[in-house]
Structure 1
Amino acid sequence: MTQDLFTAFHHGRRIASGELVAVLAAARAALSSDSVEPLVFSDHTGALQSLAPPREAPASPGRGRPRLGVSAREVTLLPRHWDWLSAQPGGASAALRRLVEAAARAPEAPEAARRRAADATYAVLNVLAGDAPGAEAAVRALYAGDGAAFAGETAAWPGDVRDYLARLAAPALSGAETQTG
């Protein structure tokens, strides 16, 4: 599973999987034939995606810095951290960007991959099957790493939903026998 894959559901059935542009096109086509909005999920995070077309950037830039897609947010650090960042080439912002880029390229640690997969699965499960029989027990099994219990609790759910959740949950449920709870 990569960060660039998405899956769309409409009336509890999977209608598309793949790159975002193709999945959104399928979801918009389903929306045009029905008033029920399809749901598009990120396979990596479980986050719902918007069906709205992206907004166009303003034609002429305003005053101030050029828009580079940079977002300003607050970061709270200890004084020694600020001192270290300030001493780096390019200053604090450039150093933080380099650190984030290096961390993003590094392989995901197994425990982090399990947690990310469990959280993504939980997010999707809440939307697609949050009221289904056994949903709470499935979530408990998911976070306990109990693949057999997870499969048992989701067995009666619609096939597309069950299969998608099983695929998302696989990293969270593999290797669980080596963990201690």
Structure 2
Amino acid sequence: MSNPHTPFSCTAFLGVEAVAGGSLQDVVNSVKEALSESKLTQVLIFNDLTGKPIDVDFRGKITDVLTRLGETFDDSSGTEESSRTARRVGRPKLGVVSGEVTLLPRHWDWLKSQPGGASVTLRKLIDEARRTGEQQSTLRASQEAAYNFMTAMAGDFNHYEEALRAMYAGDLDGFYRFIDDWAPDIRNHVKRLAAGAFPAAVKAEGEQDHEDYKG
């Protein structure tokens, strides 16, 4: 029997109630065992990483369901693995690698005046740029996951559009206020998915915790 490749967690909903969470295989097992055939047709399973629904055919025995899932993920992961392998070809080993950098004289003058010299300063600048880029990627991924789930499960809820605007504006207080009267399981799942969409609020909270600790 093929096992589905699931390097992510997922959550199953029956209406507005979360009924299972964990790996895709665990969720499928749980709902298949716990729910009747009529209710299984109403179950929606969402990828917690992307907020997108996962199509699961619950017909037959659990072994049949998992086999179909395994075949689906085997097909999709084969292309991805080939792509990753191709990208690894020619990648330099870890360590210091020399290379040519072309800069204007004023750039060299500034780099040489920095503590540690040009090489140390360039490495620091690159590391900082990478951190900034990763933070932006996390923010966008969190926004997209929350948007996907909200569109599928809360599109007709009160203040849906206002909540989306608050999320994209980075307004955590407004976002929480607009989703406060939503069904509890939906609201809590949206909060989890959108957690990375408010880095400023998370940073401020961490700084406040640090100040409280020092006090």
Confirm or deny that 1:47 pairs with 2:49.
no
Confirm or deny that 1:14 pairs with 2:23.
no
The whole-number CA distance in structure 2 between the counterparts of 1:99 and 1:50 is 37
The structure that is helix-richer by fraction is 2
Q: Is the 8 A contact 1:154 1:162 kept in 2?
A: yes
Confirm or deny that 1:165 pairs with 2:190.
yes
Shifted more, 114-123 versus 19-28: the winner is 19-28
- Structure 2 CA distance for partners of 1:31 and 1:12, relative to 1, 3 Å: farther
Q: How far off its partner does 1:34 sit?
A: 2.1
Confirm or deny that 1:70 pairs with 2:79.
yes
Q: How far off its partner does 1:160 sit?
A: 0.4
**AA in 1 matched with 2:151:** N
The whole-number CA distance in structure 1 between the counterparts of 2:18 and 2:180 is 17
The whole-number CA distance in structure 2 between the counterparts of 1:98 and 1:20 is 32
**Match for 1:26 among 14, 30, 41?**
30
**Match for 1:119 among 144, 149, 160?**
144
Q: How far off its partner does 1:23 sit?
A: 1.0
Q: Say which SS state the counterpart of residue 39 (structure 1) adopts.
A: strand
Q: Is the 8 A contact 2:9 2:47 kept in 1?
A: yes
Root-mean-square deviation (CA, aligned residues, Å) is 3.3
The whole-number CA distance in structure 2 between the counterparts of 1:173 and 1:141 is 10
Structure 1 regions of 5+ residues with no counterpart?
Answer: 58-67, 72-91, 101-105
Q: Is the 8 A contact 2:8 2:23 kept in 1?
A: yes
Structure 2 regions of 5+ residues with no counterpart?
Answer: 1-5, 58-64, 72-76, 92-129, 204-215
Same amino acid, percent of matched pairs: 28
Q: Name the TM-score, length of structure 2 as normaliser.
A: 0.57
- Structure 2 CA distance for partners of 1:149 and 1:55, relative to 1, 3 Å: closer
